[in-house]
Amino acid sequence: MDLNGFEKEIGVNFNNKGLLKQAFIHRSYINENKGEGLEHNERLEFLGDAVLELVVTNFLFNKYPKKPEGELTSLRSALVNTTTLSKTASSLGANDLLHLSKGEGRDTGRARQFILANTYEAIVGAIYLDQGYDSAKGFIENTIFHLIDEIVDKELWKDAKSRLQELAQEKFSLTPNYKVSKEEGPDHNRIFTVGVYFGGKLVAEGRGESKQEAQQEAANKALEVKGW
């Protein structure tokens, strides 16, 4: 897929094609191609993250008028987390358009998920700058709003660590323990690997851009491992 094909896929015709191209340029690509005069997508990602939060918050506020603030926050987190956004970006064909370093290009695991999730936010930022708020809002509506029903029906919004702790105490009378096993990447883009243990035995591992996010993923995987 080329940029024109991506525009057709998302239903947005950019005035400034350079903004759309920039949304797919990872910092690592710039480091290996400094002479091309390109900019990476982190500023667009920063802007898109703010637009995304506003649009999703407004959507949830109006859709669930009786839900308390804490539950709305959890729903929002589930709708815009790394897993959701990376899957959405991939389904739109974003993975084929990424500009990455050779090293990043070989990694198709969790690190790629972070890149794709950040790219989704950068796309939102690019649309906002090029087309305005309503167009960015429309893109978000069309790509992720439909996921909220499954999140609510399957209670995917509930805190994984809390659920794991409740079930571990109920079934085994123990409290899960979390330990950081690895830290990777530069300070501005740190990736943490965290293991969750039952009585000293490793049950599952998770990765995240923060220790908290890595713990949540580890808890989610532990729930899957235990069939809970």
Q: Tokens 């959701």, residue?
A: 84
- Which one of the listed residues 45, 121, 130, 205 is annotated catalytic? 121
Q: Are residues 77 and 105 in the same domain?
A: yes
What pLDDT is stored for residue 12 in this prediction?
96
121 is known as an active-site residue: yes
Supply the mean pLDDT for the chain: 92
Rounded to an integer, the average pLDDT of 90-100 is 95
Q: Which of 13-22, 78-87, 90-99 has the lowest mean pLDDT?
A: 78-87
Q: Are residues 61 and 170 in the same domain?
A: no
Q: Are residues 179 and 91 in the same domain?
A: no
pTM of the model: 0.76
Contact between 50 and 121 under an 8 Å Cβ cutoff? The reply is: no
User: What is 164-191 written as a DSSP string?
Assistant: HHHHHHHHHS---EEEEEEEES-GGG-E
Last residue of one domain, picked from the residues 103, 131, 153: 153
What pLDDT is stored for residue 196 in this prediction?
98
Q: Are residues 149 and 170 in the same domain?
A: no
* Cα(163)–Cα(13) distance, integer angstroms: 44
Handedness of CA 89, 93, 97, 99 (dihedral sign): positive
For 119-130, what is each residue's pLDDT tens digit? Answer: 999 999 999 999
Q: Which residue has the higher pLDDT, 148 or 220?
A: 148
CATH code, domain with 24: 1.10.1520.10
Rounded to an integer, the average pLDDT of 177-201 is 91
Domain boundaries, position 170: 160-226
Please give the single-letter amino acid code of residue 20.
Answer: L
Please name the residues in contact with 90: beta carbons below 8 A apart, sequence gap of 6 or more: 116
If one counts the domains in the chain, the total is: 2
CATH code, domain with 217: 3.30.160.20
Helices (H), the chain: 3-10, 17-23, 27-32, 42-63, 69-79, 82-91, 102-106, 110-131, 133-144, 148-153, 160-172, 211-226
For 160-179, what is each residue's pLDDT tens digit? Answer: 888 899 889 999 999 999 99
Last residue of one domain, picked from the residues 131, 153, 175: 153
Q: Are residues 165 and 207 in the same domain?
A: yes
Q: Are residues 34 and 146 in the same domain?
A: yes
Q: Are residues 122 and 219 in the same domain?
A: no
CA distances (Å), origin 33, targets 98, 101, 124, 186 = 14, 9, 25, 19
- Which one of the listed residues 45, 49, 104, 205 is annotated catalytic? 49
Last residue of one domain, picked from the residues 114, 138, 153: 153
Q: Are residues 136 and 25 in the same domain?
A: yes
* Cα(121)–Cα(143) distance, integer angstroms: 12
